[in-house]
Amino acid sequence: MPKRNPGARLEWRDDRGGGTWEIQWTERGSRKRRGTGTAERAEAEKQLIEFLQAKHRDTIGPCDPAQRLIGDVLADYVGEHGEHVAARETLGYCVQALARFWGERSVRDVREGTCRAYVAHREKAGAKATTAARELAALGAAIRHDWRAGRLTEMVPIWKPPMAEPKDRWLTRKEAANLLRQCRGYDRRHLALFARIALHTGARAEAILSLRWPQIDLDRKLIDFNPPGKERTAKWRPIIPIPDRLMVPLRAARRRGTDLGPVLAFRGKAVESIKTAFSKACQRAGLDDVTPHTLRHTCASWLAQSGVPFPVIARYLGHAGSRRTERIYAHHAPDYLKAATDAIGRRTVR
């Protein structure tokens, strides 16, 4: 997380003839100083208060983007909005990368040229252009939040490279069965349960990892992926019926768990990440280019292949609308555009 501008403060300055207090502050990455001419702390604090009041009068209300440091924008965004973001861990990585490049720059410095320079900077560090684009999208969200909070006089647009098309990697039924076999084992029960929930519900990894038993109603066969009190975001989480094949492993896990505890637990503690164990299971199964998110794509692909309407798939996955769902999974639907092909081949009757 970026460090906040510490603001104006008193610092003791040693001189040969003694010492005095001085006021120090930072503007656009440069340290500024102003002497107080006194060695008395009380008098120096009085001058600091007068200095702060004068600066506050100059900057009260929305300020020009040139006067607002991006480091402060990012820190305020994380502090005020971070808990409402679906992928908080991902946001943390984005903000750390952004702060190293942008932290001491102003919002006015955000232009196409500097954004392109940021992409080059991240690629030089080994990151992909898609990663840089995701980070710039986070910067744009932080600036929009700052503007809506009334801290900026105007909105500053963000340039970012086009996002790559989503990967079309999904598992066949045979590959999925092989993966589940490699997830089995006494010390891997949490991994097997994760894979089953992901395949049968299409939920995102973070939604599954954060599940608690109060969110699962085994009697009514419902699973609510929304933690109590969670604000709805663009990546909202659905409430869906529990598929029959998922009931047995969930009941077995419930017997091992506690009333309020995590659904995915290892040695009595909540599982925070599944990446390493999942990667090893994929290696044992001989599966390449497969991540936990692949299971979500697999679930959606299977639904489309079975002829489930796209609006239903969108609701099942937690998409805000079906347009994106159709764009990603339309080619899996067996009857997609069949009505059009039937119509074009039909003889016209005059």
* Separation between Cα atoms, residue 236 and residue 14, nearest integer Å: 57
Query: Which of 87 and 62 is assigned the larger pLDDT?
Result: 62
Q: Band the pLDDT of 164: cuts 50, 70, 90.
A: low
Is the pLDDT at 31 greater than 80, yes or no? no
Domain positions in the chain: 9-60, 67-148, 173-332
Average pLDDT over residues 143-148: 92
Query: Which of 130 and 236 is assigned the larger pLDDT?
Result: 130
- At 54 the pLDDT is 65
Q: Band the pLDDT of 300: cuts 50, 70, 90.
A: very high
Q: Band the pLDDT of 89: cuts 50, 70, 90.
A: low
Query: Which of 284 and 236 is assigned the larger pLDDT?
Result: 284
Least confident of 44-48, 143-147, 191-195, 207-211: 44-48
Is the pLDDT at 57 greater than 60, yes or no? no
* Separation between Cα atoms, residue 28 and residue 103, nearest integer Å: 10
Fold of the domain built from segment(s) 173-332: hpI Integrase; Chain A (1.10.443)
Q: Band the pLDDT of 253: cuts 50, 70, 90.
A: very high
Query: For the chain, what percent of residues have pLDDT higher than 90?
Result: 50
Report pTM.
0.62
Residues contacting 21, CB < 8 A, separation 6+: 10, 11, 12, 13, 36, 38, 39, 40, 41, 44
Closest CA to 2 of 133, 102, 86, 80: 102
- At 347 the pLDDT is 59
Closest CA to 26 of 64, 57, 72: 72
Specify the residue for token string 């440091």. 69
